[in-house]
């Protein structure tokens, strides 16, 4: 139980910095009259993901995202009993970060909330489709770098961070490019922005469940005599056994 608490705390810390820096950059952009721009905000998300996955991947798996946690559980790569503590910790970290951002900067930029754009107008159906597609891409990359031992080790945080970044570049102005229920939940709780909030839970979870299964379907079958369960690859490229995976979970976030 103490071990689970340690890992959940790491998830809370990582998600705190994700929401402090990512949505925080959107708030700074609003305060400074657009000094960062879409590219600057996207880079903020990419950089914080890279840093947090490197820092926490070996401690908790650095999911930093309830949809990632649920997707890993759905494929048997994460213990069922750890799902709720991880999700609660991720949401708590996000709320704390949004509270700090509001205390420092005030109620600006919708606290970096994820909302369908009003100009140009984005329908709920379009917002759902975009969030689904971006979340699918993110989880597909995570499955590759976190669960496939043929991927070159050591570059997983960069791959995940860049995926979050390119999604934010394209989708940020349209939907906020959440791909992460906790990232949307923190600003919504503190700022009271609940418009279309369900999209930012349902679309990422559905998409990541689908992406995890899709990658497993595309993965070549194990050679005769090989272990049925593929090893997991940690941040530093060390192979994690299935027993260790049950304790620490599969690695890597997002956004």
Domain architecture of the chain: domains with CATH: 2-248 (1.20.1080.10)
- The rounded distance, in Å, linking the Cα atoms of 233 and 163 is 18
Q: Which one has a higher pLDDT value, 141 or 226?
A: 141
- Band of the pLDDT at 151, cuts 50, 70, 90? confident
Beta-carbon count within 10 A of 243 CB: 7
- Band of the pLDDT at 222, cuts 50, 70, 90? low
Q: Classify residue 151 by its DSSP letter.
A: S
Per-residue pLDDT at 150:
87
Work out the average pLDDT over 72-101.
97
Q: Classify residue 77 by its DSSP letter.
A: S
Please give the structure tokens belonging to residue 118: 């009003």
Checking if the pLDDT of 68 tops 80, the result is yes
Per-residue pLDDT at 149:
85
- The rounded distance, in Å, linking the Cα atoms of 123 and 175 is 10
Q: Which of 51, 110, 112, 60 is nearest to 90 (CA)?
A: 60
Burial class (CB in 10 A: 0-12, 13-18, 19+), 228: exposed
Determine contact, residues 12/91, Cβ cutoff 8 Å.
Answer: no
Per-residue pLDDT at 119:
81
Mean pLDDT (the chain, rounded): 88
User: Over the range 51-74, which residues count as b (16 or more CB within 10 Å of their CB) and which as e?
Assistant: bbbbbbbbbbbbbbbbbbbbbbbb
| 21-35 confidence digits (pLDDT tens) | 999 999 999 999 999
- Band of the pLDDT at 237, cuts 50, 70, 90? very low
């Amino acid at each position: 139980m103490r071990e689970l608490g340690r890992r959940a705390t790491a998830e809370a810390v990582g998600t705190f910095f994700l929401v402090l820096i990512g949505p925080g950059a959107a708030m700074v952009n609003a305060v400074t009259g657009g000094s960062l721009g879409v590219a600057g905000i996207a880079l903020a998300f990419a950089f914080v993901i890279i840093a947090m996955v490197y820092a926490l991947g070996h401690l908790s798996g650095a999911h930093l995202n309830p949809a990632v946690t649920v997707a890993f559980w759905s494929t048997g790569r994460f213990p069922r009993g750890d799902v709720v503590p991880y999700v609660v910790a991720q949401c708590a970290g996000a709320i704390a970060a949004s509270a700090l951002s509001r205390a420092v900067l005030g109620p600006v930029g919708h606290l970096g909330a994820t909302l369908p754009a009003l100009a140009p107008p984005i329908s709920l159906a379009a917002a759902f489709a975009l969030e689904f597609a971006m979340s699918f891409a993110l989880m597909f990359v995570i499955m590759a770098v976190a669960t496939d031992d043929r991927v070159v080790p050591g570059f997983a945080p960069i791959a995940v961070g860049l995926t979050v970044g390119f999604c934010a570049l394209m989708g940020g102005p349209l939907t906020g490019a959440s791909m992460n229920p906790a990232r949307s939940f923190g600003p919504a709780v503190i700022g009271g922005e609940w418009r279309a909030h369900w999209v930012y839970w349902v679309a990422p979870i559905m998409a990541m469940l689908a992406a995890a299964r899709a990658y497993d379907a595309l993965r070549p079958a194990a050679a005769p005599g090989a272990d049925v369960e593929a090893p997991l690859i940690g941040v530093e490229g060390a192979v994690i056994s299935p027993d260790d995976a049950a304790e620490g979970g599969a690695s890597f976030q997002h956004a």
